[in-house]
Structure 1
Amino acid sequence: MKKYVTSLMLCLLMLPLVAQTQGDTIYHFRFEPGNDGLYTAYRNNGTELSRLLACVVQNKEAILAGTVPIQVDGYCNSLDDETEARATARIRSNRVKSELITREGLTEACFTTRNHTSGGDYVTVRIVIPTSPSETGPEQQAETERLAAEAQRATAEQEADRLQAEAEAQHIAAEQARLVAEKQQTEAEQTRQAAEQQRTEASHPAHDSYHLALRANLLRWATLTPDLGLEWRINPSWGIAVNGSWTSWSWSDKDRRYALWEVAPEVRYYMGEKKAWYLGAMFKAGQFNYKLSETGKQGDLMG
């Protein structure tokens, strides 16, 4: 709202000057928001440049002599940083002046330049052509009305630029919100997958990864009966094992005897979340020879 009040005040300030100088003409050159390039194909800039060059050619001698000043005002309000906006406005003013300097041989002394950080994204060029006091009447009024119409047109174009800039800002904000939502969704999915992996690892302990394992029954070893076994873990729930034992002891001049061998194949079904417990079916076969007193026992065993 502030920049439109400023534009309206500038228009009102120009009207008294128009009444005094019938030959005053204002030319508008539009710039893309945030850009300092002067494009002739953008927003009728080519037509405005042709009109400006024609006016300069017509009044070139007076312009070079300094009796017809050229006022250049550069504007930029599409940048947040005021220093950067003023620098962009200055570059825009120089772009327009360069066209007149290179095409018609004007010099920097021909211009009065001011740069602003409000009002819009454009450059205005005003050529003040003095008129004689006798030139009054309908022609002066028509010129005043024409300049007022140009000011209204500039205000309307500024409003259109503002609406377009707001629409672009809303689009950018919506796109940023969408990207943030996608990022959050991706992070949530990654968190879910990590939790699922942890749950899977908890339900399948690290020892599930092996296929063969060497086992021993420490209770049998405590009875001086060496025992070893080999287990094949088919999957986390099922395993096949084979255990074997052997021992042979004699004492009291061989009047005492403790000897045996046995083989026991087994099928196991592991239970629980950590697969720490199992139910199994085992078959045992072998031979024994016990003589712990005067009478001994010897034979085959099966269970």
Structure 2
Amino acid sequence: MSRKITFLTLFLWLTAVTFPVFAQQKADTTYTFRFVPQKDMFYVPWNGNDMELARLLECIESNKTDILDGKLPLYVDGYCNSLNGEKENLAIAKIRSNRVKSELIIRAEIKEENFITRNHATEGDFVTVRLTMPVKETAATDAEAEARRKAEAERLEAEKRAEQERLAEEQRKAEEARLAAEKAEAEKAAQQNTLADMPSETKITNDYHLSLRANLLRWATLTPDLGLEWRICPSWGIAVNGSWTSWTWSDKDRRYALLEVAPEVRYYMGEKKAWYLGAMFKAGQFNYKLSETGKQGDLMGGGITAGYQLRLNKALDLDFNLGLGYLNADYEKYEVIDGVRVRRGNETKDWWGPLNAGVTLVWKLF
């Protein structure tokens, strides 16, 4: 009986000595915040971060005095391994750690010196905050700790599978978008090639070129006519046409001579840039003797022009145009007597109306 009493007394004494030792042991409490791979933004509502943050803030509030006094530091570890190099991973891990600390500084009203920070280019895409806290109750059994570790491992594995599936889906969508873009580009190139081969004005004129012009109506009246046009941009062009002829018949008693220069500025309109309006100036000299009395003198005037260019092929257009405005002719009248011109007076005439009309062949030089 005395032995039993002695054994019981010894057991109680050992329990009294050992229990405070276990009670004073410290255990790590870890809080994990998840991040999107390759990103550094801290999304609080994402992937359980809000619940983890609420638990951490509650723990900080319960131990705030010790934390602010420096007795209970917060160990912050940032992780990143979703980028190519160690330097890039460490840079992202650092930014993630700072974002989590900023959130805690604002919400829990603690300071930067209350943290001990380390960053790692390994393991995953998360940040852990760890507090080494005194255990107020008997430590959990090994079986319980193992169960918790197993549950955490299963959760991490499930998250990893979900993340892999998400990345695979994003890669599939990106590949589909790339193939669609390549198909659209091929269709666009085919359409452009088709338009380039069509001898029609359906293709929009958007080039800059120098063209040689010949008014076929003037040539039909045996009046050679040539000109140049420079398209300085799709909407504006500068043109100049010149005509010259000199004909005599009936032993030089009849004469038709003309020298004329007409510069013009044009503005092309519409989607196809085929219609245009212009401003024209005209100056020249003439000598007409189609009856007994001839007329020789100068002409000058100007007005507005309008027209339409019909595309024939890559190099040729057909330009239909009409000019209206004012023309002044200052000339002297004469007769030819025995081969000698005899002056019969001067006249001046003003003309309002059509100044010129043309069906002009346009050849793009370059």
TM-score, length basis structure 1: 0.52
Partner letter of residue 193 of structure 1? L
- The DSSP-based 3-state class of the residue aligned with 2:33 is strand
Name the residue aligned to 1:31.
35
Q: CA deviation at 1:145?
A: 2.5
The 2-side partners of 1:146 and 1:137 are apart by 10
Aligned mates of 1:190, 1:56 — CA distance in 2? 67
Do the aligned partners of residues 77 and 191 (structure 1) sit closer, same or farther apart at CA in structure 2, a change above 3 Å counting? farther
Aligned to 1:165: 167
- Structure 2 CA distance for partners of 1:119 and 1:174, relative to 1, 3 Å: farther
Classify 1:142/1:36 alpha carbon distance in 2 versus 1 (closer, same or farther; 3 Å).
Answer: same
Q: In 2, Cα distance between the equivalents of 1:124 and 1:75? A: 8
- Helix, strand or coil at the partner of 2:30: strand
Q: Does 1:119 align with 2:126?
A: no
Partner of 2:57: 53
> Mapping of 1:272-291 within 5 angstroms?
none
Looking at structure 2, the residues matched to 155 and 128 of structure 1 have their Cα atoms a distance apart, in angstroms, of 26
Equivalent of residue 212 in structure 1, options 194, 208, 217: 217
Counterpart in the other structure of 2:103: 99
Note the alpha carbon deviations across 1:149-170, whole angstroms, 9 max, x for none.
2243123213312321232133
Q: Give the Cα–Cα distance (whole angstroms) in 1 for the partners of residues 75 and 153 of structure 2.
A: 16
How far residue 94 of structure 1 moved from its aligned partner, in angstroms, is 1.2
Contact 1:22 1:144 in 2 (8 A): no
Higher relative contact order (CA 8 A, sep 6+): 1
Distance in structure 2 (CA, Å) of the matches to 1:123 and 1:49: 12
Q: Secondary structure at the match of 2:133?
A: coil
Q: Please report how far the alpha carbon of residue 78 of structure 1 lies from its aligned counterpart in structure 2 after TM superposition.
A: 4.2
RMSD: 3.9
CA distance in 1, matches of 2:74, 2:60: 9
Q: What do residues 51-94 of structure 1 show as CA deviations (whole Å, max 9, x unaligned)?
A: 01112222334434545443222223444465444322212111
Paired residues in the alignment total: 197
State the alpha-carbon separation in 1 of the partners of residues 163 and 74 from structure 2.
26
Counterpart in 2 of 1:142? 144
| CA distance in 2: counterparts of 1:59 and 1:143, whole angstroms | 24
1:108 matches 2:80: no
CA distance in 2, matches of 1:63, 1:195: 79
TM-score by length of 2: 0.44
Q: 2:94 aligned to 79, 90, 94, which one? A: 90
Partner secondary structure for residue 128 of structure 1? strand
- Please identify which structure carries the higher strand content: 2
Counting aligned pairs with the same residue, the percent is: 39
Aligned AA for 1:182?
Answer: A
- Greater per-residue helix proportion: 1
